[in-house]
Amino acid sequence: MTTPLNERRIANAIRVLAMDAVQQANSGHPGAPMGMADIADVVWREFLNHNPTNPQWANRDRFVLSNGHGSMLHYALLHLSGYDLSIEDLKQFRQLHSKTPGHPELGYAPGIETTTGPLGQGIANAIGFALAERTLAAQFNKDDLKVVDHYTYCFLGDGCLMEGISHEVCSLAGTLGLGKLIAYYDDNGISIDGEVEGWFSDDTEQRFKAYGWQVLRVDGHDTDAIRQATVEAKAQTAQPTIIICKTIIGLGSPNKQGKEDCHGAPLGTDEIKLTREALGWEEEAFVIPKDVYSAWNAKDKGQAAESAWNDVFAQYQAKYPSEAAELLRRVQGDLPAEFLAQADAFIAETNAKAETIATRKASQNTLQAFGPLLPELLGGSADLAGSNLTLWKGCEGVQDNPAGNYVYYGVREFGMTAIANGVALHGGFIPYVATFLMFMEYARNAVRMSALMKQRVIHVYTHDSIGLGEDGPTHQPIEQIASLRGTPNLNTWRPADTVETAIAWKSALERKDGPTALILSRQNLPFQSRSEAQIQDAAKGGYVLAQEKGELKAIIIATGSEISVAMDAYVQLEGVRVVSMPCAEEFMKQDAAYRESVLPSQIRARVAVEAAHVDYWWKFVGLDGKVIGMTTYGESAPAKDLFKHFGITSDAVVEAVKSLTA
């Protein structure tokens, strides 16, 4: 090793803060921060282009701690560098309402770019950052002025590489040649269960070479070697780089370094005392000497970097004013000023056409109308574009044109969704991704992360029920819609026809505080006539589609393809209204008066019908009501035979209503 003593002392500040905070919380992971401190020292003090006084500076480098259990590494770096994260905040590590939760959480501490913890998703987000940077740069940079020009740095560990998502996303990153992505693999050979060689013996170097990455190996405690490898990584613009850093977990702890003992538990007061002695660190807990703070502080450097970029951007604004205004609009996440009016005009036009088509086709028609208005759309599909109809005429793949607007993700549902989260987090784009609803299951945790991080990601799911027919129970979703609806902060739309589909897309695009799932049919669905007022109410997530004839006695609630079932029953009944509920989450956000006007509380005779699991609907129909839907898996047969076989018919609805009103 060639690390000088003074530089080791600078890195040791991370080690002591990590062990002190974990000890005080009596919970956490000190080993990874202590083992990666030397890597972090080099990356953050010498290479990372960031401004602690403005964590949202648009052209900052992005940093992702994929092995998020080592969160004290990130918090220590933010504190030492000069972010608004005090020593008192570090003392509140893992405590209620602190800025320093157990895993990095977006929106808690300044400088946290993404929520990490579910292993493998951090590197996926980082790939999304790198993809967004390259695409935005290709769309806006000029030969003489580069206003989008930054790197993405990612730390990751054994757990990230063991998770299957890492294969999905790193394979794609290599194929796309994301050269401004640099990953540092903490190769310490230890996980919670002990030495990983018994269950993780991959040749990581050959694995990443096969993906098309540049692979470098260093001693993770040799700062000269880390520095040189980072220079090499930045010089390679055609490939992403992974730097395999051989490290000792918990470095500095005399009795626990290199062992699983320091992975996920405090070192203990006696061991911390010994570690301080071994490190030559004389200060008490949470005390950092002024000279160490001075060595870490990045405020002046960061402000100078942002100021230099501001000068470049001012030149860009003067020379390319329309492009500059457009870039600012997109980075701020605002829709074009004229978009909402144009979207409403398209919805009115769609209502006038009265087409009977599949809602997946209605979705494509909406994309064809909205796409030219929204250059920020960055679409993609997990190898099913011809089936889920996510391609529109203006789509161009980023693999052929870096300035394109569509990603061919291949069969990578989980990776696709987590990358899209990174794209949204980066800014400048509204990503939409697609697969069959059944295969949402592969992506489930990344969908949850979209919602947890409040990101505007649009999840398009087609082939939404037994209505897809002959492919059978492996492809026919049953419980998936209920699972999505049970996800906090996710809006799930299941439109009944062309108009509701266009409304759902508009709602998803307008929404800035979370993701939307669009649940779309394979089969054609009949058009439903609506007044202008009903179109306005449809955007509220639930509305009266068919008014009762005479005194109201019962309510039928339906979504998607079952709206036509409800309407067929409606014509056979008196005193019944049909409520279309394309988005229950949006409906529940409406005021009590509106909800009461749609679902009067005194009407207890309620029937819900949906070709999905019945359990979700009991909260709307009550114990006195009835739900017609699925309680088993599907079968392989034509759709019309399946609906009859499972009793999802107008006759069943009529019978249920009569039984409740007799």
Binding site for Mg(2+): residue ranges? 158, 188, 190
Strand pairing class (194-195; 214-219): unpaired
Exposed, middle or buried: residue 511 (CB in 10 Å: 0-12, 13-18, 19+)?
middle
Phi, psi of 632 (to 5 degrees): -130, 180
CA atoms of 265 and 447, how far apart (whole Å)? 30
Residues 66/155, Cβ–Cβ less than 8 Å: yes
- Region for residue 28 given its phi and psi (left: phi exceeds 0; alpha: psi -120 to 50; beta: otherwise): left
CA atoms of 465 and 610, how far apart (whole Å)? 9
State the binding site for substrate.
Answer: 29, 263, 360, 387, 463, 471, 475, 522
Contacts of 644 (CB under 8 A, 6+ apart): none
CA atoms of 54 and 51, how far apart (whole Å)? 5
| Active site annotation includes 413 | yes
Residues 325/464, Cβ–Cβ less than 8 Å: no
Exposed, middle or buried: residue 238 (CB in 10 Å: 0-12, 13-18, 19+)?
exposed
Chain-centroid distance, C-alpha 172: 17
Question: Which alpha helices (H) appear in 283-412, and where do they start and end?
Answer: 290-296, 299-319, 321-332, 339-353, 359-370, 385-388
Token pair for 291: 């000279």
Tell me how far CA of residue 52 lies from CA of 85, 286, 287, 294, in angstroms. 10, 21, 21, 14
H and E: helices and strands count for the chain: 27, 20
Token pair for 109: 């501490």
What is the three-class DSSP state of 609? strand
State the binding site for thiamine diphosphate.
Answer: 69, 117-119, 159, 188, 263, 439
Tell me which residue of 521, 526, 503 sits closest to 462, measured CA to CA.
521
What is the three-class DSSP state of 211? helix
Exposed, middle or buried: residue 312 (CB in 10 Å: 0-12, 13-18, 19+)?
middle
Which of these is catalytic: 413, 548, 562, 610? Answer: 413
State the binding site.
Answer: 29, 69, 117-119, 158-159, 188, 190, 263, 360, 387, 439, 463, 471, 475, 522
- Exposure string (b/e) for 97-125, b if CB count within 10 Å is 16 or more? ebbbbbbbbbebbebbbbbbbbbbbbbbb
What is the three-class DSSP state of 8? helix
Residues annotated as catalytic are 413
